[in-house]
Amino acid sequence: MSLSRNIVLVALVILGVASRWLPHPPNVSPVMAIALLSGVYFSGKKGAVLLPLVALFISDLVLGFHSTIWAVYLAMAVVVWGAGQLSSKSQSSPGWLNVTLMGLGASVWFFLLTNFAVWAQTGMYPHTVDGLVACYVAAIPFFQNSLMGNAVYIFILFGSYELIRRHLPQAATAR
C-alpha cells in the first residue's frame, strides 16, 4: 500500500494538534510549525491554508476563543501562504537554514500582529505609542516561549516528514 504525501502530512498535523491539548507553557504550541509544514509541502494550496486553520479551530473549540482570535488565524494563514511562496521557488526540500529562517520570521510576524491586536482591541493598554510599546514589552516572555516551541516543533515535524520521505519514497509523491 502506497502512502501519499498528503496522508503523511495530515497524520503529522493530527499528531501536532493533539499535543496542543496536553499541558504546556503558554505559547509553546505546534500550530506555527504545522502552518509552515503545510505551506511548504501540502500539494493543494487551499488545503495548505485550510488544514492548520481547521486544526486550530477544532483545538480552540476545547481551549476556548478570545476577542483577538482573528489575529491568530490571520497570522497563521499568512504564514502558510508565505511558506508556500518560498517553497514554490524550489522543487527540493527547503533545507534547514530556510526552514529556520521561515520559523523565525513566522514567530516575529505572529508576535507583532497578535500583540498589536491586543493593544488595539482589548483596552488593556492605552492607545498611545507608549501603550503599544508596553504591550510588546509585556509580551516578550510569551515571544520567548513561542520561539522555543516553534524551534522544537519545527524540528520534530519537518524532521519527521523528511525521515518518512527518505525511508518511504512512495510518500514523497509529486506536489
Note the pTM of the prediction, 2 decimals. 0.87
Specify the higher pLDDT residue, 25 or 136.
136
Beta-carbon count within 10 A of 149 CB: 21
47 exposed, middle or buried (CB, 10 Å; 0-12, 13-18, 19+)? middle
Domain boundary assignment for the chain: 5-171
Which residues have CB under 8 Å from 138's CB, separation 6+?
A: none
* Overall fold of domain 5-171: Arp2/3 complex 21 kDa subunit ARPC3 (1.10.1760)
Task: Write out the three cell numbers for 59.
Answer: 483545538
pLDDT digits (tens, 9 = 90+) for 44-67: 778 889 888 888 888 898 889 999
Per residue in 59-118, pLDDT (tens digit) is 898 889 999 999 999 999 999 999 988 877 665 678 889 999 999 999 999 999 999 999
What is the 3-class SS of 115-172, one letter each residue? HHHHHHHCCCCCCCHHHHHHHHHHCHHHHHHHHHHHHHHHHHHHHHHHHHHHHCHHHC
Q: How far apart are CA 119 and CA 133, in angstroms?
A: 9
